[in-house]
Amino acid sequence: MTNVITRWLLVPLAVAALALACDDGEDSGADSVEPLRIGYLADRSGSLAELGDVISVGVELAVQHINEAGGVLGRDVEMLFGDTKVNPTQGVEEARRLVDVEGVQAMVGAISSTVTLAVTESVIGPSGVVMITPSASSPALSTSNDNDFLFRSAPSDVAKGVVLAALAEEEGFDNVGLLYRDDAYGQGSAEVFINNFSGNVTAASYSALGQPSYLAELQQAASGGAELLVVIAFPGEAEVFLRESIENEVFTKFVFADATRSEDLAAKIGAEHIDGMKGTAPGSSADEPSTAAWNRAYIAQFGEEPARAYVREGYDAVIAIALAAEAAGSTDSAAIRDQLRNVVQPPGRTVLAGPEGVAAALEAVRNGEEIDYDGAASPLDWNATGDLQTGFVEIWEYRGGKIVPL
């Protein structure tokens, strides 16, 4: 299967799937002083705090580029933050605060699939507030009760799990252990992996509430005689059980799903223990003009490309909301939702990410032109369930404590 593993794999997500309030409605234009309020619902503490903080860089960069270009409908974009703490109950409470108290007209988030599912069915769908998640990847979100108010700017695990299975086979293993988080993210990823891996899988799950020890689960995953462990976990939990696995020599070889793409994780467990080991994550292609333009802008501001996944996806979520609001001529959330697909697909004029591209896109919409925003990460060609129809899945490697795309 060597032809499957490439540096950037463009996955047809629809095919992969077969394999398996807001404002009062009207804006007053340039005279209004009220900003377009977007909530960023993220895990800022707990086992996904690292990822929530990283994605916020892309979110805030998008706000910067929009406001430098004159804002939306003559007003600035304002970002308001809510910490879900990787807890569905906390996530719902924070979402309600952002909608009912802060008056956000749209949201970016949540980060984890379990929190996103709870927020979608308790707040987003019933309240009619559009939300774009930059990282929640569970297939369960595709059939959630969202009333078409939930979208994703990253691929579903329907695609990523296929590539993860191919990677494990490419590494030469036909018998693997699988340890996954017992929640929407872990369950969905594990199911897709098992259904697409041609060899034997011995799976074990662990509590999403966290555990002091994972030795019993590690031994269960090893009971079928496997030498490779497929890791579907959050970084905070993976730090504990990877160290435990290495110290007890249960597994010393690993393949990683997207959430464990973390240089901090490598530093904490000792980079030498996982050097040369690989994983998958949503990616982008520097050959794409929009990605190249965004990369140039990001490097100019921060000195290097982001080391973690989902930064570009966070950026794309904010830009899409802003362009849809401009096209709608309104900050009403339903009106924004109704324009989301229109501003990211043909036959509109192609516009790119980055400060120049965003400025050109907003100006084109103000002039009555149709646009097709090509995202910083990938095209945002949403289907009827708010899922991407194509997307890039990256193969990467731990090398000297750093993450190196292959």
DSSP letters for 32-49: ----EEEEEEE--SSTTH
Pick the residue with more confidence: 14 or 157?
Answer: 157
Q: Which two tokens stand for residue 74?
A: 């003559």
- Domain interval for residue 230: 158-280
132 shares its domain with 181: no
Contact 102, 223 (CB under 8 A): no
Quickly list DSSP for 334-378.
HHHHHHHTTTBSTTSEEE-SSHHHHHHHHHHHHTT--EEEBPSSS
Mean local confidence (pLDDT), 23-43: 69
Q: Tokens 């404002």 label which residue?
A: 23
Pick from 18-22, 27-31, 231-235, 289-293: least confident = 18-22
Select from 280, 297, 326 the last residue of a domain. 280
Select from 223, 248, 280 the last residue of a domain. 280
Number of domains in the chain: 2
Q: Is 321 helix (H, G, I), strand (E, B) or coil?
A: helix
238 shares its domain with 257: yes
Q: Read off the pLDDT of residues 365-386 as tens digits, 9 standing for 90 and up.
A: 999 999 999 999 999 999 999 9
Q: Read off the pLDDT of residues 88-135 as tens digits, 9 standing for 90 and up.
A: 999 999 999 999 999 999 999 999 999 999 999 999 999 999 999 999
Q: Which of 201, 279, 212 is nearest to 239 (CA)?
A: 212
| Strand segments (E) across 173-258 | 175-182, 200-207, 228-232, 253-256
Q: How far apart are CA 124 and CA 142, in angstroms?
A: 14
Alpha-carbon distance values, 120 to 55, 60, 127, 128, 165 (Å):
20, 23, 9, 10, 29
Burial tier of 364 (Cβ tally within 10 Å: 0-12, 13-18, 19+)? buried
73 shares its domain with 184: no
Q: What is the pTM of this model?
A: 0.91
Q: Which of 286, 288, 282 is nearest to 308 (CA)?
A: 282
125 shares its domain with 163: no
Q: How confident is the model at residue 247 (pLDDT cuts 50, 70, 90)?
A: very high
